[in-house]
């Protein structure tokens, strides 16, 4: 199962980069066909430093400030009821399974002594 998931992840990653590479090549083809640099034609994917030294990513012409987005995600401390409920259920299920396994191990150990 792990090998299958790894293969799927690698395949999806290769396909994603293939699509981005194809978009970049199409952009270069359009620039060559026009014969001049058009500022409206942007690259498919571009990462660069801005004037203040922060990283900026541009995906399909939309510019994103990476540090600003990361800081915004770190500052956001939203409470998700279903996430908390899932964590509680997972810890409860883990405790029950651990107790059941230790109980069964104790019974098997007492049978062999």
Give yes or no for a contact between 85 and 73, defined as CB atoms under 8 angstroms apart: no
Does the pLDDT value for residue 16 go beyond 70?
A: yes
pLDDT in tens, 86-95: 999 999 999 9
Q: What is the DSSP string of 2-36?
A: HHHHHHHHHHHHHHHHHHHHHHHHHHHHHHHHHSS
pTM comes to 0.35
pLDDT of residue 30: 74
């Amino acid at each position: 199962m792990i090998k299958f998931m790894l293969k799927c992840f690698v395949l999806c990653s290769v396909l994603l980069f293939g699509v981005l590479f194809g978009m970049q090549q199409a952009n270069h083809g359009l620039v060559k066909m026009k014969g001049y640099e058009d500022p409206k034609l942007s690259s498919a994917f571009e990462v660069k430093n801005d004037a203040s030294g922060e990283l900026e990513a541009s995906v399909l012409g939309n510019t994103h400030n990476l540090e600003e987005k990361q800081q915004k995600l770190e500052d956001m401390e939203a409470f998700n009821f279903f996430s908390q409920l899932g964590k509680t259920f997972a810890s409860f299920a883990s405790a029950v399974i651990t107790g059941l396994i230790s109980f069964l191990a104790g019974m098997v150990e007492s049978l062999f002594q």
